């Protein structure tokens, strides 16, 4: 059931003290980032209770859309710091995988064990609720798909831009630190180079296609989280482990690897953008947004529209009965 949002019915005095002016200013600034939606127009909250929605999938969709609206309405500086933290955290994937790679024997067992290290960065970022670009190919997109206005598109592009830049800055700082801080031995550093060169062995087309799959997997992971409850950690590890053993490309994890090669002098800087970043970014967006998000939204769009019409008709009948 929708709940009406509380409204301040007391008009502020004209010569209100400073705090009231600050609240008014914050409200005015926040309006620029407010998502355009039916609920915001009506002053209600998004319905997320499964028993009040037409299907379990609709409940998951609406819970993710609610989270997406919160992220879209956040301050840019807050998003940027969170994205920077996520970029730094994703360095843990290369670090753990490189340490395992340097110490495990070659062969199938070593391969499957070392890729557990790939999951570490995702565990940190997702459990810490940091801003990861590929999560936002679904979470932040659903509010736009729900109401595709120019304003909603603009605030989606703002979030994508801020989060992507923050992620890339974080990965660059981590890659630079891995090279210049006296932390790792020569075997681990050699493992970093070897693992990163495996990514660069892909053609641009392979980068793009691999990234489609990884974008779809991350979007699937996001979709599963509301139902995961106490199994979130296990699901994060399983889904991202699949990306690791599949040698799939990912714009944020891969940036740590490729920038390590750049800062180490193994490849020129422009190769970070092509053949890696541009095809990989495009693939992640296609997999997360144009495949998973579109299909997930399409499956419940008609259900929700029919449910709202039915609810409205039921409300009108109840009102008529009371008048009679």
pLDDT digit string, tens, across residues 186-224? 999 999 999 999 999 999 999 999 999 999 999 999 999
Over the stretch 279-321, which tens digit does the pLDDT of each residue have?
999 999 999 999 999 999 998 887 776 566 665 555 555 545 5
- This prediction has a pTM of 0.86
Q: Which range has the worst mean pLDDT, 22-36, 147-161, 264-278, 294-308?
A: 22-36
**Can you give the pLDDT at residue 310?**
65
30 belongs to a structural domain? no
Predicted pLDDT of residue 201: 98
SS3 state at 4: strand
In a domain, 17, yes or no: no
- What confidence category does residue 54 fall into, taking pLDDT thresholds of 50, 70 and 90? confident
Give SS3 for 112: helix
The pLDDT of residue 31 is 65
Is 33 part of a structural domain of the chain?
no
Give the pLDDT score at 299.
86
Residue 271: left (phi > 0), alpha (psi -120 to 50), or beta?
A: alpha
305: in domain: no
Share the mean pLDDT of the chain. Answer: 89
What total number of domains does the chain contain?
1
- The reply to whether 250 falls in a domain is yes
Residue 243 has pLDDT above 90, yes or no: yes
Does some domain include residue 22? no
Domain that holds residue 120: 55-297
**Residue 310 covered by a domain:** no
Supply the pLDDT for residue 318: 52
Query: What per-residue confidence (pLDDT) applies to 307?
Result: 60
Q: Return d(Cα 273, Cα 286) in angstroms, integer.
A: 18
CATH number at residue 105: 1.20.1080.10
Q: How far is CA 285 from CA 111, 134, 150, 219, in A?
A: 28, 7, 19, 10
Q: In which band, very low, low, confident or very high, does the pLDDT at 14 lie, cut at 50, 70 and 90? A: very low
Residue 144 lies in a domain: yes
Q: What is the Cα–Cα distance from 294 to 314, expressed in whole angstroms?
A: 30
Q: How many CB atoms lie within 10 A of CB 190?
A: 14
């Amino acid at each position: 059931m929708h709940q009406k949002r509380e409204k301040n019915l007391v008009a502020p005095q004209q010569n209100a003290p400073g705090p009231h002016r600050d609240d008014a200013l914050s409200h005015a600034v926040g309006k620029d980032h407010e998502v355009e939606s039916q609920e915001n127009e009506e002053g209600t909250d998004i319905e997320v209770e499964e028993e009040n929605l037409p299907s379990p999938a609709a409940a998951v969709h609406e819970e993710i859309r609610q989270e997406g609206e919160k992220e879209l309405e956040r301050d840019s500086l807050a998003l940027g710091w969170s994205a920077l933290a996520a970029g730094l955290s994703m360095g843990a994937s290369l670090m753990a995988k490189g340490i395992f790679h340097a110490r495990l024997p070659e062969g199938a067992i070593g391969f499957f064990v070392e890729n557990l290290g790939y999951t570490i960065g995702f565990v940190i970022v997702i459990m810490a609720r940091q801003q990861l670009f590929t999560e936002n190919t679904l979470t932040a997109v659903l509010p736009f798909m729900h109401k595709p206005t120019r304003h909603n598109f603009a605030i989606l592009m703002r979030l994508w831009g801020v989060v992507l830049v923050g992620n890339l800055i974080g990965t660059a700082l981590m890659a630079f630190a891995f090279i210049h801080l006296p932390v790792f031995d020569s075997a681990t550093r050699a493992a970093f180079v070897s693992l990163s060169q495996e990514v660069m062995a892909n053609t641009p087309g392979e980068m793009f296609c691999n990234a489609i799959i990884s974008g779809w997997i991350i979007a699937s992971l996001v979709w599963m989280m509301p139902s995961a409850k106490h199994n979130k950690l296990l699901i994060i590890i399983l889904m991202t482990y699949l990306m690791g053993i599949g040698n799939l490309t990912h714009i944020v994890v891969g940036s740590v690897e490729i920038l390590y090669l750049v800062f180490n002098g193994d490849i020129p800087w422009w190769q970070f953008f092509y053949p890696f970043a541009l095809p990989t970014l495009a693939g992640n967006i296609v997999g997360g947004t144009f495949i998973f998000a579109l299909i997930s939204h399409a499956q419940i769009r008609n259900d929700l529209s029919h449910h709202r019409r039915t609810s409205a008709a039921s409300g009108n009948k109840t009102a008529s009965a009371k008048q009679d």
